[in-house]
């Protein structure tokens, strides 16, 4: 048997991509609400174009999303039917603190998640909670400049105190920041950062990152104090870099790209700024303002496990022509001639998952948790609404085999696996509904039309069988 007996099989979602109900239950507005679908999305999520409120020209898919706010019981029942052992979801900060800086939390928001967690436990599903999945209250963005301000650490700390105490006994797996390295690649979506013309962007991003890293350490500290049973993880958008050629310069470029992302996990897991980062910052004139006690906090409160998303490996090169082609992507990567790609150009590389797992396990020597993986594809339902998604089954089976090899053949300690978007939801990168990951089809399109009806796809029964066999039977 490759996987632990208590292996946590499941699926993952994020509040803003599935809940909707953006103005219900006393909820406030967040950065993730005001990012529209369409050509302005990339300039907005990367902090180049200002969008601090809704306007009439754009469509904002997160407002209603797939309406899980009202339908979570039906959805969790379906997860239960598949045999999920865990369900990864995120808390919308603005349901708990609508502005972010209030003294008292919003009871209606707290109650919503309490009910939701209880619903999970009815089916023996252990919630795995992302404290912030890209969301930052708009009020904190407008008043304090989001994570560029040190004050955010205190507001985040309040949020953590409230939820750790309230959900004690209901939740024991926590992730502090989803894809914490996203702050470098999509800083408005990742951390609410918008840049003024005279900003030194790198300085702003790394200072904001420092605030998040300190906040993450404080969260870990409080989680352990409130309940020693609590397990806290960091979360990295992972995918190791391959050199485009064996030219040493390409190999070096790959190492540097990896380090740009590892930087965050190095701090969260080893507890200090790595030497290479300190040197790089010094060279680039970046000065991190630290407060007294920050270094000790980071050192004392490292994470219990390493979680990550994996969709693809990456390719690094110093060739200027090849680099030119990567502009406009969230993660710049050259095309790998040995790999096929999804309809959205994401290259499919199951062995890359095994490589990435080994890289992370070698580096941190802590248990791993794969909290996102999957294929975003166009699904075409037949007249009964049924989708025969053999392409998705094939993608997942190949990745599960690679994951099994990492555990069985390489000895990686893996706690669990949650597929991304186990029910179809709004894409973070593009805002589309059309880019689907789910085992459950949701009748809704890019423009917001559709009945929102849920229908099981072919992959639903396949995943159910995978879980029932604890990953032994991957056949279609
Ligand atoms: P979508 C880009 C690259 C890697 C991970 O992405 C990413 C992104 C953002 O697009 O984000 C994670 O929806 C993220 C999820 C997101 C998922 O990947 O663009 O944690 O919120 O939905 C898939 O296909």
DSSP character for 326?
T
Which tokens go with 146? 């989001």
247 CA → ligand 1 middle, Å: 31
Q: Other C-beta atoms within 10 Å of 69: how many? A: 21
| Residue whose CA is at the smallest distance from ligand 1 atom 10 | 429
C-beta separation of 235 from 309 below 8 A:
yes
Number of domains in the chain: 1
Residue 179 included in any domain: yes
| 84 Cα–ligand 1 center, Å | 22
pLDDT at 330: 75
| Sequence-ordered list of residues with C-beta below 8 angstroms from that of 381, at least 6 positions apart, any chain | 387, 441, 455
Rounded to whole angstroms, the Cα distance separating 402 from 396 reads: 10
**Residue 1: inside a domain:** no
Interval between CA 126 and ligand 1 midpoint (Å): 23
- pLDDT the model gives residue 110: 98
Distance in Å, CA 251 to ligand 1 centroid: 26
Residues touching ligand 1 (Cβ under 6 Å) are 14, 17, 178-179, 237, 309, 311, 330-331, 372, 376, 420, 427-430, 435
Longest distance between any two alpha carbons in the chain, whole Å: 64
For a mutational test of ligand 1's pocket, the pick from 14, 19, 429, i.e. the residue with the most ligand atoms closer than 8 A to its C-beta, is 429
Alpha carbon nearest to ligand 1 atom 24, residue: 427
Q: What is the model's pLDDT at position 325?
A: 79
How many Cβ atoms are within 10 Å of 285's Cβ, its own excluded? 9
* Burial class, 104, CB count within 10 angstroms (exposed 0-12 / middle 13-18 / buried 19+): exposed
Q: Is the dihedral of CA 432, 435, 437, 438 positive or negative?
A: positive
Q: Is residue 318 part of a domain?
A: yes
* Residue 133 within any structural domain of the chain: yes
Q: Are 66 and 444 in contact (CB under 8 A)?
A: yes
Question: Ligand 1: distance of its center to the CA of 225 in Å?
Answer: 32
Q: Whose CA is nearest to atom 13 of ligand 1?
A: 427
Give the pLDDT of residue 327. Answer: 67
Which CATH number covers residue 184? 3.20.20.80
Q: Read off the pTM.
A: 0.98
CA 282 to ligand 1 center in whole angstroms:
31
Residue 332: per-residue pLDDT = 67
The residues carrying an active-site annotation are 179, 372
- Pocket residue to mutate for ligand 1, from 30, 179, 240, 341, most atoms within 8 A of Cβ: 179
For ligand 1, mutation pick of 89, 309, 341, 433 (most atoms within 8 Å of CB): 309
Pairing of strands 454-456, 440-442: antiparallel
pLDDT of residue 205: 97
In this structure, is residue 476 part of a structural domain?
A: no
Range of the domain at 26: 8-468
Is 303 part of a structural domain of the chain? yes
Spell out the per-residue pLDDT of the chain, length 476, in tens.
789 999 999 999 999 999 999 999 999 999 999 999 999 999 999 999 999 999 999 999 999 999 999 999 999 999 999 999 999 999 999 999 999 999 999 999 999 999 999 999 999 999 999 999 999 999 999 999 999 999 999 999 999 999 999 999 999 999 999 999 999 999 999 999 999 999 999 999 999 999 999 999 999 999 999 999 999 999 999 999 999 999 999 999 999 999 999 999 999 999 999 999 999 999 999 999 999 999 999 999 999 999 999 999 999 999 999 988 776 667 767 899 999 999 999 999 999 999 999 999 999 999 999 999 999 999 999 999 999 999 999 999 999 999 999 999 999 999 999 999 999 999 999 999 999 999 999 999 999 999 999 999 999 999 999 999 999 999 99
**CB contact at 8 A, 374 and 420:** yes
Q: Which atom of ligand 1 is nearest to the CA of 344?
A: 24
**In this structure, what is the dihedral angle of CA atoms 307, 36, 345, 457, given to the nearest 10 degrees?**
70
> Does the residue 473 lie in any domain?
no
Question: Does residue 184 form part of some domain?
Answer: yes
In terms of phi and psi (left: phi > 0; alpha: psi -120 to 50; beta: otherwise), the region of 55 is: beta
290: alpha, beta or left? (left if phi > 0; alpha if psi -120 to 50): beta
């Amino acid at each position: 048997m490759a996987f632990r007996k208590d292996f946590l099989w499941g699926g993952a979602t994020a509040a803003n991509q599935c809940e909707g109900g953006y103005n219900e239950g006393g909820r406030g507005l967040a950065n993730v609400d005001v990012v529209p679908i369409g050509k302005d999305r990339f300039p907005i999520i990367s902090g180049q174009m200002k969008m601090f409120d809704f306007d009439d020209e754009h469509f904002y898919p997160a407002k209603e999303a797939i309406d899980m706010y009202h339908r979570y019981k039906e959805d969790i029942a379906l997860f239960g039917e598949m045999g999920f052992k865990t369900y990864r979801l995120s808390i919308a900060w603005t349901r708990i603190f609508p502005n972010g800086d209030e003294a008292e939390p919003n009871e209606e928001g707290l109650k919503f998640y309490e009910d939701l967690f209880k619903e999970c436990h009815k089916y023996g599903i252990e919630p795995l909670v992302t404290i912030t999945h890209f969301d930052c209250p708009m009020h904190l963005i407008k008043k304090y400049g989001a994570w560029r301000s040190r004050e955010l650490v205190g507001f985040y700390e309040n949020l953590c105190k409230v939820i750790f105490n309230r959900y004690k006994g209901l939740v024991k797996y926590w992730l502090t920041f989803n894809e914490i390295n996203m702050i470098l690649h999509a800083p408005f979506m990742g951390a609410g950062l918008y840049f003024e013309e005279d900003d030194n962007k790198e300085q702003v991003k790394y200072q904001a990152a420092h605030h998040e890293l300190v906040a993450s350490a404080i969260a870990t500290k409080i989680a352990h104090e409130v309940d020693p049973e609590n397990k806290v993880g960091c979360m990295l958008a992972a995918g190791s870099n391959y050199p485009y050629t064996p030219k040493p310069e390409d190999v070096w470029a790959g190492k540097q790209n990896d380090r740009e992302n590892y930087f965050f996990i190095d701090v969260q897991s080893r507890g200090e700024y790595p030497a290479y980062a300190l040197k790089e910052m010094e060279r680039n004139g970046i000065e991190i303002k630290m407060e007294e006690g920050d270094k000790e906090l980071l050192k004392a409160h490292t994470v219990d496990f390493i979680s990550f998303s994996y969709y693809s490996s990456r390719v690094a090169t110093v060739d200027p022509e090849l680099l030119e082609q990567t502009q406009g992507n969230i993660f710049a990567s050259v095309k790998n001639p040995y790999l096929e790609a999804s309809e959205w150009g994401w290259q499919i590389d199951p062995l890359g998952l095994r490589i990435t797992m080994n890289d992370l396990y070698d580096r941190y020597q802590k248990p791993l948790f794969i909290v996102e993986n999957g294929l975003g594809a166009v699904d075409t339902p037949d007249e009964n609404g049924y989708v025969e998604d053999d392409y998705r089954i094939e993608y997942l089976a190949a990745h599960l085999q690679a994951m099994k090899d990492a555990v069985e053949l390489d000895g990686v300690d893996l706690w669990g696996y949650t597929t991304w978007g186990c029910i179809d939801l709004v894409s973070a990168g593009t805002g589309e509904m059309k880019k689907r990951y789910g085992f459950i089809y949701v009748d809704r399109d890019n423009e917001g039309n559709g009945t929102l009806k849920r229908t099981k796809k072919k992959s639903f029964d396949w995943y159910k069988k995978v879980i029932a066999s604890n990953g032994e039977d991957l056949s279609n």
